Amino acid sequence: MQRRLVMIRHAKSSWANPLQSDFDRPLNDRGKGEAVEMGEKLKKLGLMPDLIICSKAKRTRQTAKRIAGVLGYDLENVLFEEKLYHCIPSVFEELLFEVSDKIKTVFIIAHNPGITEFTNQLSADFNIDNMPTCGVAGVEFKAEEWNTMPVAKRSVFLFDYPGKD
């Protein structure tokens, strides 16, 4: 079965309130627009998630809301995961191992540095220094089960971010 994993870093966040906790930082106006822009790019490519997994931090939830809205994905079906907040790469893999094998396309919305580190592990042919805000990286592979992803031959089919054109 052909599977796709789309890794998305949250959009640009606001630093307007220096006393605000990092977890509670919202998107700034630019970030709100970036999330919609990337949702539109994903829609144009025909990339529709069967499942969105998202960090519980405010900026990731706001990013998910905007992308899901553009794609027509029901926000009620987003799986919000506390452990995605500033996680290490192995946490992404652990979450994917729990995904139902009926699911073909998964979007994960999370944070740096973990998202850059994990994305760089997806293919030997792909390496970035830093996943930009609202950056999107997609990998595809053939596997019957999500838990065989680490040994499956994977190829990056998408790397995009706001203003890349």
* Measured distance CA(30)–CA(53) in Å, rounded: 23
| Total-model pTM | 0.96
Q: Which domains does the chain have, with CATH numbers?
A: 2-160 (3.40.50.1240)
How much is the pLDDT for 165? 73
Specify whether the CB–CB gap between 92 and 121 falls below 8 A: no
Specify whether the CB–CB gap between 96 and 5 falls below 8 A: yes
Ranges of beta strands (E only) in 25-153 are 51-55, 79-81, 105-110, 136-142
Specify whether the CB–CB gap between 146 and 3 falls below 8 A: yes
CA dihedral 42, 24, 91, 68 (to 10 degrees): -20
CA neighbor of 62 nearest in space, from 38, 39, 32: 32
Each residue's pLDDT tens digit, 47-93 = 999 999 999 999 999 999 999 999 999 999 999 999 999 999 999 99
**Mean pLDDT per 10-residue segment, the chain (165 residues):** 97 92 96 97 97 98 98 97 96 96 98 96 92 97 94 95 87
